[in-house]
Amino acid sequence: MEQNKHDELELMMLGRTKMALFTCGAMLALAALPVMAQQPMDLKQVLEQALKHNTDVRNAALDQEAARNKVGETRADGLPQISAQGDLKFNPSIATQMLPGEILGRPGEQVPVQFGTKYIASVSGQVTQKLYDHRFLTGLQAAKQSEELYALLHLQTGEQVLYEVAGTYYKILDLKAQEASVDSQLATMAELERITKLQVGNQYKLKLDLQRVQVNRQNAITRRDGFTLQAEQQLNYLKVLMGMPVATDVRLVQPTDLGIVAPTPGSTALYEQRTDIKVLNQQIALQDLNIRATRAGYAPTLSAFGNLGWQAQSNAFDMYGSDGTWLKNAAIGATLAIPLFDGGRKHHQIAQQKVVRLQYQADLVHAENALAMEERNAIAALDNSWRTVEAQAGNLVLAEEVYGQTNSLYTEGIAPLTDLLDADQALSDSRTTYHSATLNYKLAELDLLKAQGKLNTLVQ
């Protein structure tokens, strides 16, 4: 009896164990579904993703769409306006008026008479059409100019996103290169630590030498972890710029060649082609139209109208009965409105709009001067960055030679450990400085593209 119970208990536990294993396996399989390795993305793919999904770019596109619909709304004011109306009126007490008795054959008396019926129904339709309204015509032009302005703002937002995304992309590549450089240093230091341990065990080196190697190695690990953290933070920021969930797995292509070449002198930027300048010129043109539209308020307007309606009156709630009679009425005409005096309202509105135009004009002059400065500074920064890259590349080669020679001398027992650690640190600093120089070069190159209005070439 007890044996049977024991067997049943074992079978139950075995069944539960299988169920638990199956459940865990299913959960692991489901958890693995969304974790799919994403294809590495190069700079062009990152920029294209940002231009499609960045929040600022999408909002700018929506603003452009709203401006396009605004043109249709303004144009609708110039089309025929048609409306229909139906009324039903009940008079519990019909109005009474006093009429001279002479009219009704009762001279010398005032006779009360009720006019109308208890129920009055009417149906009517109206059509109006602008024939001439200078303010409407100018307003339609302004709406079209506004649509073009929002198209330029959309383009400008895209360029700003390109600049921000490309800069972040280069920073991530730099941090990854710094991380790989420290990893290479750690591999060398791990071997040095292993050799030093053997030497300490053979009493050829002091324990202090091993501790110094370990301290330097731990400092390198801390520095590597810092680069890793910064790269992860910048990558998360890049995902936000690309309009992607932060949890998305994104891998960036680590190009073998960043294209660090000597800058060639090019033509200066045509400021008229810069989106910033186009936006300001468009704002000035739009402000001119606003002034014209306000001034057009002094001009007369002419419109045509037509009315057609039917009315029925009855003392019973039966408009189609014997008492109900539907009477037709129609009217066609035109309305001419001539503004005479508005207390100087439009005069002061025009004065305000002229002030705004002067501000836009001042902004345009300042922008052209600022862009000239921006281009000069970008060219100078690019030349300086190139010289720095050349110098640091040579310095890196020299540091590698010094480390190699010092390592050989240390292995032969000629150079002390201090010289080897100093050479290793110098090599690490040279690598860091070189990578920083290449990053500064790419950022300076990016600044020059921005100054010359050529950021769109990054996605071409």
My answer on whether 331 and 284 are in the same domain is no
Does residue 21 lie in a domain region?
no
The predicted-structure confidence for 184-226, as pLDDT tens digits, reads as follows 888 888 888 888 888 788 877 778 888 888 898 899 899 999 9
Q: In CATH, what number is assigned to the domain containing residue 369?
A: 1.20.1600.10
Query: What whole-number distance in Å separates Cα of residue 171 and Cα of residue 231?
Result: 8
Q: Considering the domain boundaries, does residue 6 fall inside one?
A: no
Structure token pair of residue 369: 């001067």
pLDDT at 257: 63
Length of the chain: 460
Confidence band, pLDDT 50/70/90 cuts, at residue 80? very high
pLDDT tens per residue across span 173-187: 999 988 988 998 888
Check whether 363 has a pLDDT greater than 90: yes
Is the confidence at residue 37, as pLDDT, over 50? no
Mean pLDDT lowest among 3-7, 321-325, 428-432 = 3-7
What are 280's two structure tokens?
């300001």
Model confidence at 408: pLDDT above 60: yes
Question: What's the average model confidence in pLDDT over 252-265?
Answer: 71
- The verdict on 406 and 317 lying in the same domain is no
For residues 289 and 311, membership in a common domain is answered with no
Q: What is the pTM of this model?
A: 0.78
Give the closest residue to 403 by CA, choosing from 416, 418, 422, 429.
422
What is the predicted pLDDT for the residue at 14? 40
pLDDT for position 265 = 61
Of 293, 279, 280, 278, the residue nearest 353 (C-alpha): 293
Q: Which domain holds residue 89?
A: 84-131+302-337
209 and 247 in a single domain? The answer is yes
Q: How many domains are there within the chain? A: 2
Residues 250 and 307 in one domain: no
Q: What is the pLDDT of residues 97-148, one digit of tens each?
A: 888 877 777 887 888 888 878 888 899 999 999 999 999 999 999 999 999 9
Domain co-membership, 184 together with 196: yes
Four-point Cα dihedral 224, 227, 233, 235, nearest 10? -110
Whether residues 185 and 231 share a domain: the answer is yes
Amino acid at 349: Q
How far is it, in rounded angstroms, from Cα 123 to Cα 101? 36
